[in-house]
Structure 1
Amino acid sequence: MTAVHAKPGEPVRPGAVLLEVSGRPLIALPGAVPIYRDLKPGAHGEDIGQFQRALQSLGYDTGGDTAGEFGSGTKTALTRLYAKLGFDHPVTGTDDEARLKAAEQAVDTAQRQVDLLKSQIAAASSATSGAATAPDGRPAAGPKEAVGGESLDTQLRYARKTLVSAQSDRARLVETTGPMLPVSEAVFLPAFPAQVTAFSAKVGDPVKAPLITLSTGELGVTSRMTPDRAALLKPGMPVEIEVTGSDRHTTGKVASVGEPTAADPAAEGTPGGAGGAGGGGALMAQVLITPDTVLGPDWAGRDVQLTVTAASSGADVLVVPLSAVSTGADGKASVVKVAQDPGGPPTARVDVVAGLAGGGFVQVTPVRTGELAPGDRVMVSEK
């Protein structure tokens, strides 16, 4: 790699040069389909049409070229793009240049022969039409006749055919040679601005794939949750997003909740957020989160922990640890209150109505008012 023009985290605009390899540029262009072949004059296809649209979006007119056909207008636009970027435009090859030069010479030679014959015919026609005779007394050749050969008119007819053939050969070469876009000098990106995520080499290092990694559009967060957890979520719910093992955090909102499907244990990113990822083949629902602020490139690919507020009590409530609540055979929930008064009973069972749960705690309301109050101790396990 001989030069770097784009830095990780900085926005990449259409038409920008990302880097150079052996002095040749890698250009970012708008388009959904990756470039998979050299784009050459005379070529046809949807990839040519995509390239033409990219040139036009950057302000380079492709002239009268038919969409999807690499013609002279596209060659001119490509040449202007490279000139603007400060690079010589690539061509189809030195062999093609030599063939084109030979074709030009063939046209010039044929044209000179036609012009010569036309001048000879004109000179012969202007000669006097007297009763000229040859030295042996026979009539001399006519003004458009060649002595001992074809007439000048016949020679001119063949010369014109040769000229037309040479011009046709030259036109075919012009149509299929000249400025081109090599597959190694362009990357099509579906959305802008894009960002450089990483380089695999630095200036002076040998090139190895992948040389550059880019991301397009804004980063989002994806999680896979068990159906029971996903059922609690609705689009628009607020979410706290925290990078695992880091103090970086932000907020966002639930964008969508997918239908539960069988999880692929080999799929990347299946461990997800608060829901976890379950075993292979378990039903999981995909949840998409939209961050409230644009996430930087250092967030890309990181594991995050999600905290979703599925519901709120709206006011201060009495809560106990989840493990403190038990359900009896009659289906009633209760907690065991530990006495604070040494003279009273050591424990007392208090019937409660459980409410919202979150963060390891659950809201409880004593069935009989006053049996449980803030500060009371409750049993979370028995030995």
Structure 2
Amino acid sequence: MTRRDARVFDELLPAGDAEASTDPVAGAAPDPAVETAALSRVQGWRRVFRTNRVLWIIAAAAVVSLVAGLLVGRFVLSPADAASLTDPPAPGLITVAMERGILSNDVTIRGDVGYADSVEVTIDTAALGGPAVVTGSVPEPGATLTPLSVALEVAGRPVIVLPGDLPAYRTLVYGLTGPDVVQFKEAMRQVGIDAGDPASDRFDETAAAAVTALYTQIGYPAPAADPGAADAVRAAQEGVSAAEQALAAARADLGQAAGGASAVEIRAADNAVNSAQRALDVRRGQPPGDPAEVPAWQAELSDLQDALELRQLERRQLDAAPDTSGQRGAVEAANRQLADARDGLARARDQALPALPAGEVLYLGDLPRRVDAVNVARGQVLQGAAMIVSGATITVTGSAAPADAALLTVGGEATFELPDGTPHRAVISALTPGPTQGDRWEIALQPDELTTEQAMQLQGSNVRVSLPVGATAGEVLFAPLAALTAGPGGEARVEVVEGDPRDGADAVTRLVAVETGLAAGGSVEIVSADGALSEGDLVVVGR
């Protein structure tokens, strides 16, 4: 640059800049072209600085930040970097404190919570002979049906709830046999009514008497006897009377033909026979209402029969020697007719015994039951299903593998959590094997009583159920299985830390021989022979 160029440059710069400039060539003459070029360059740089001032400020700030970051990264260390530059701590013992509590081995399953399956209740009204009008005892939804409940009243007659799984498909009358008779007798036994031997499948006099007792207990009259049966009884009674008269006439003829005894003796003997016969007939016609009195009644009939046969023997002894075979044949025939008439009367009376109509009994399993919906109202004609019922109590149903199910028993306890997390007790009510070998078993559990709110919250949920299959009798001392080591003689032992486990190899420890009990959940019951262990002692599980 010439002296002139320098001078022009100094004139164009601000005052502060001009003072900072130098003049290397003193006394040189200025060059106009150089001055013009220098002036253009200076104005261009000034324009660049003036129009991009913000950009230059940002760039300067970035440079300053970069320099500051480099300095901070050089002199500030993270905790991990600081730890890497320090020496590792001395190794210590890994210990666990011994605890006291109850150990339990559990089978864990998932269970669905809900009521028993819903059932549509239908009632057989075919035997009514008229419209099945509902006349009363209509339950409200939510009501509970128990044994001897009246589920409904149809045409003035009750529909009685009894325990059982087989539907009532026919009216039970005297002399019938079958599984429905066995079910009725078993149901009567469960409600405290004697219906005879439950192992017998015959509907006999005792079962018929139980029908009367059943209706008396619920406050309804027993079903009326068939009018035809009552007519048959009256006709049979008339037949017995006619046969008795025929026998008396035949005996009178025989007495006259025999002539061996006086008319007075024969008449007295006949009167004795007739009196004994009437006593027997009268007692036969008075069967006891209480089943417990039947044996005594039968014994009395036997005594009266013996007395009759004795009178008949005495009467026969009065017969004289003359040929009276014809008259005796007539007497024997009259006796057979009388016996047949009496048998007919007994059959007619049996057929007139109380019966149990199919439409007046409702067998339901798993009682009690809850009424979910009612499809009829008082005054309506019953058509189709009368109501829908389900189990009245909450049940929990799950499944388990055969190996786990084999460890369980009916009546065993279980626990599951309520919606608020509180443990709740349940009891195993049924264990049902799978359809084929190897299939999972179905497990039914009956929870302890739940509040209405709890039942509503649990309904339809799936819960985790724990079923203990082995537990200590009470609280025991236990430690992790990893704390056990074997001694030189094969005995089990644990290493107890006396000092600070952080001392590592220098820590003071002692070996204690122990006996082990139940193992569950990674822990094992510990018993020391000399009581040298207690809750809170630190035992070594690793180094």
TM-score bin (small chain): 0.5 to 0.7
Residue 209 (structure 1) aligned with residue 209 (structure 2): no
The corresponding residue for 1:54 is 187
288-297 vs 81-90, which deviates more? Answer: 288-297
Task: Report matched runs for 1:20-39 at 5 Å.
Answer: 20-39=153-172
Q: Given the superposition, is the C-alpha separation of residues 223 and 64 from structure 1 closer, same or farther in structure 2, using an over 3 Å criterion?
A: closer
2:375 to 190, 193, 200: 200
Structure number with greater Rg is 2
Distance in 2 separating the partners of 1:292 and 1:82: 34
TM-score calculated relative to the size of structure 1? 0.53
The answer as to whether partners of 1:189 and 1:216 remain within 8 angstroms in 2 is: no
Which digits, 9 at most, give the CA deviation of each residue in 1:122-177, with x for residues without a partner?
Answer: 4554348xxxxxxxxxxxxx99879xxx8322211111121222223333333344
Q: Given the superposition, is the C-alpha separation of residues 181 and 298 from structure 1 closer, same or farther in structure 2, using an over 3 Å criterion?
A: farther
Distance in 2 separating the partners of 1:44 and 1:297: 48
Q: Given the superposition, is the C-alpha separation of residues 250 and 32 from structure 1 closer, same or farther in structure 2, using an over 3 Å criterion?
A: farther
1:238 to 412, 417, 437: 417
The answer as to whether partners of 1:240 and 1:306 remain within 8 angstroms in 2 is: no
Distance in 2 separating the partners of 1:65 and 1:237: 39
Distance in 1 separating the partners of 2:355 and 2:156: 17
Q: Percent identity?
A: 24
The corresponding residue for 1:40 is 173
The corresponding residue for 1:75 is 208
The corresponding residue for 2:364 is 189
Task: Report matched runs for 1:78-93 at 5 Å.
Answer: 78-91=211-224, 93=226
The answer as to whether partners of 2:149 and 2:161 remain within 8 angstroms in 1 is: yes
Which digits, 9 at most, give the CA deviation of each residue in 1:197-241, with x for residues without a partner?
Answer: 3221111111122113333452235699xxxxxxxxxx7453539
Larger RCO (CA under 8 A, 6+ residues apart): 2
User: Which segments of 5 or more consecutive residues in structure 1 lack a partner in the other structure?
Assistant: 129-141, 225-234, 242-248, 262-283, 311-383
The answer as to whether partners of 1:252 and 1:289 remain within 8 angstroms in 2 is: no
The corresponding residue for 1:161 is 336
Distance in 2 separating the partners of 1:73 and 1:213: 34
The answer as to whether partners of 2:416 and 2:463 remain within 8 angstroms in 1 is: no
- What code does the residue aligned with 2:245 have? R
**When you count helix as a share of all residues, which structure comes out higher?**
2
Q: How many residues were matched structurally? A: 255
Query: Displacement, 1:299?
Result: 7.2
The answer as to whether partners of 2:415 and 2:465 remain within 8 angstroms in 1 is: no
Residue 179 (structure 1) aligned with residue 312 (structure 2): no
Distance in 2 separating the partners of 1:200 and 1:215: 15
Distance in 2 separating the partners of 1:59 and 1:305: 38
Distance in 2 separating the partners of 1:297 and 1:47: 40
Q: Given the superposition, is the C-alpha separation of residues 250 and 123 from structure 1 closer, same or farther in structure 2, using an over 3 Å criterion?
A: farther
The answer as to whether partners of 1:65 and 1:71 remain within 8 angstroms in 2 is: no
The answer as to whether partners of 2:138 and 2:377 remain within 8 angstroms in 1 is: no
Query: Displacement, 1:253?
Result: 8.1
User: Which segments of 5 or more consecutive residues in structure 2 lack a partner in the other structure?
Assistant: 1-133, 264-319, 400-413, 435-439, 467-543
Query: Displacement, 1:13?
Result: 2.9
- What code does the residue aligned with 2:153 have? E
The corresponding residue for 2:50 is none
- What code does the residue aligned with 1:49 have? V
Distance in 1 separating the partners of 2:387 and 2:453: 14
Three-state SS of the structure 1 residue aligned to 2:419 is strand
The answer as to whether partners of 1:44 and 1:70 remain within 8 angstroms in 2 is: yes
The corresponding residue for 2:254 is 121
Which digits, 9 at most, give the CA deviation of each residue in 1:236-293, with x for residues without a partner?
Answer: 453539xxxxxxx99968999x9xx9xxxxxxxxxxxxxxxxxxxxxx9999786665
The corresponding residue for 1:103 is 236
Query: Displacement, 1:31?
Result: 2.1
